[in-house]
């Protein structure tokens, strides 16, 4: 199951990176034919293959989790930046979508399952737990519990900011 999870996670990261790359290219004026997100375009291959070969593959070759210490700081900075941008743009989204919003306190449909699966996937950190535990200077239950609590707290904080910005933008 772990192997299936890892392969699926790698494929989903590649899809997300390619979609983001197409969006950025479209924003900077590249033609709709090249940046269509609904189908594979030549741009997908020009971007996905080098990304896999020169970024993702070398990251897979790292033997220790400590090799990711600097990129981890960069990812936290990226999350902080995303949170700040969302909060800064929130009033504009609120103003734009308020006239068309139809907010119901409870709305249940089949998208509930999609939302639950995304939420559960967001907190799947168990793949990294054993390598991190083995690299602790003094591995103990108390120290790994502290690592888990801090990482989940950071996750909850950022997901809460993003969720609130999304919710209040349509309110």
Cα separation, 153 vs 150, whole angstroms: 5
pLDDT at 139 > cutoff 70: yes
**Domain limits at 24?**
1-61
How would residue 6 be classed by pLDDT, with cut points 50, 70 and 90? confident
Q: Are residues 50 and 73 in the same domain?
A: no
Residue 82 tokens read as: 């995303």
pLDDT score, position 101: 62
- pTM, two decimals, is 0.60
The tally of domains found in the chain comes to 2
pLDDT at 76 > cutoff 70: yes
Q: Are residues 12 and 75 in the same domain?
A: no
Residue with more model confidence, 90 or 121 = 90
9, 71, 73 from 53: Cα distances, Å:
17, 18, 23
């Amino acid at each position: 199951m772990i192997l299936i999870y890892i392969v699926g996670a790698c494929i989903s990261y590649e899809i997300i990176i390619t979609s983001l790359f197409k969006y950025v290219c479209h924003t900077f004026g590249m033609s709709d034919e090249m940046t269509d997100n609904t189908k594979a375009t030549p741009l997908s291959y020009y971007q996905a293959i080098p990304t896999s070969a020169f970024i993702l593959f070398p990251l897979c070759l790292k033997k220790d989790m400590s090799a990711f210490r600097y990129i981890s700081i960069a990812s936290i900075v990226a999350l902080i930046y995303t949170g700040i941008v969302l909060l800064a743009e929130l009033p504009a989204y609120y103003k734009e979508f308020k006239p068309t919003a139809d907010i119901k306190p409870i709305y249940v449909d089949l998208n509930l399952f999609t939302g639950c699966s995304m939420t559960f996937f967001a907190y799947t950190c168990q793949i990294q737990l054993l390598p991190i535990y083995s690299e602790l200077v003094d591995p103990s239950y108390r120290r790994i519990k502290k690592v888990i609590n801090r990482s989940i707290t950071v996750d909850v904080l950022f997901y809460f900011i993003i969720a609130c910005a999304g919710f209040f933008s349509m309110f």
